[in-house]
Structure 1
Amino acid sequence: MKIYSFLLFLFFSSSLCSQTFIGNQKDIDKILSNIKSFSVSVMNSDYKSIGLAYTEDAKIFPNNKEILKGKEAIINYWVLPKGFKTKYHKIKPEEIKIIGDEAYDYGYYEGITLRPDGSESNWKGKYVIVWKKINGDWKMYLDIWNSIKQ
């Protein structure tokens, strides 16, 4: 009985945090790689690479702000004030679905910002990204997110 209960626990707990990825595996892998690279760029304050992650006509929908359009506005959004650093940034997709040369993904993000005084701010939220395949690479076209109160 103990083994049966343990197996049921494993089955139900694994389904609670399961991911659903639908589409060509090579494209899924590229999107996942781009997600990881984006987080690295954010942590390194590599604004050029952040800009390259988006399409030329991209739009972002930051929490409590107007829609920002185009790479220049998007890059300016990501530039941190002097003395601030993103110490940790991770995007955790729940679902990725590829439909032709477009895809969407949604899930959760989390991070830690280091302030000039040495203190840290932890944050997390949920997001949706619409991707476009351009010249064999997947770029973010629409990027919307909002925070979750901790």
Structure 2
Amino acid sequence: MKLSKSYLMKSICSILLLMCTMQFAIAQTFTGNEDDIAQILKNTETFSEYIKASNYKMIGASYTADAKIFPNNKEILEGTEAIVNYWKLPKGVSIKYHKVISHEIKVLGNEAYDYGIYEGTTLLSSGEEVSWKGKYVIVWKKENNTWKMYLDIWNSIK
């Protein structure tokens, strides 16, 4: 039986795609109550929407009142006002794309940790687009049956 080069290439590409997909699926580890994990994933997705919409009120509401953030190359910022001020963009600048990809979430009672990667694109007032990516760790706290970010640290990947 003789196979065409086209058939072999399609088969190899299909196998490679399947392997990459499986590797990504295997790389995710979620441990704990499924409803809690689902809410953390949803809150992460919603947070990205708030970032893209520059919805500073809801960005602030995504964090606990005593939250701390650890931005790349900056001091630790504490409390809602400082966190919201950090996320405020200069006039004419917007976030065109923002995505967080959790690699692991582990729920431990009313606290959880989550780590993974993030990526995005900023649209500058000049019209230039700047893409970026990095890694993060978030410690979540459950307050009034809602998961909120308590500690949020990230840094870029070049």
1:21 aligns with 2:21: no
Q: Distance in 2 between matches of 1:12 and 1:35?
A: 24
User: Which has the greater radius of gyration?
Assistant: 2
Name the structure with the higher helix share. 2
Across the two proteins, how many residue pairs are aligned to each other?
146
Task: Name stretches of at least 5 consecutive residues in structure 2 with no aligned partner.
Answer: 1-7
Amino acid at match of 2:23: S
Aligned residue for 1:146, secondary structure, equals strand
Cα offsets for 1:42-100 (capped at 9, x unmatched): 00000000000000000000000000000000000000011100000000000000001
Structure 1, gaps ≥5 residues long = none
- Counterpart of 2:40? 31
Structure 1 moving runs of 4+ over 2 Å: 6-13, 15-18
Matched, 1:76 2:91: no
Q: Does 1:133 align with 2:122?
A: no
**What is the CA–CA distance in structure 2 between the aligned matches of 1:61 and 1:121, rounded to whole Å?**
22
CA drift of 1:7 comes to: 6.9
Whole-Å separation in 1 of the counterparts to 2:16 and 2:105: 27
Q: Distance in 2 between matches of 1:12 and 1:32?
A: 22
Which residue identity does 2:56 align to in structure 1?
Y
Structure 1 residue 114 corresponds to structure 2 residue 123? yes
Identity of aligned residues (%): 61
Q: 1:74 to 1:122 in 2, by over 3 A?
A: same
Q: Distance in 1 between matches of 2:20 and 2:124?
A: 40
Structure 1 residue identity aligned to 2:71: P
What residue in structure 1 maps to residue 100 of structure 2? 91
Distance of 1:12 and 1:82 partners within structure 2? 40
Cα separation, 1, equivalents of 2:86 and 2:75: 11
TM-score by length of 2: 0.87
Q: CA deviation at 1:14?
A: 1.2
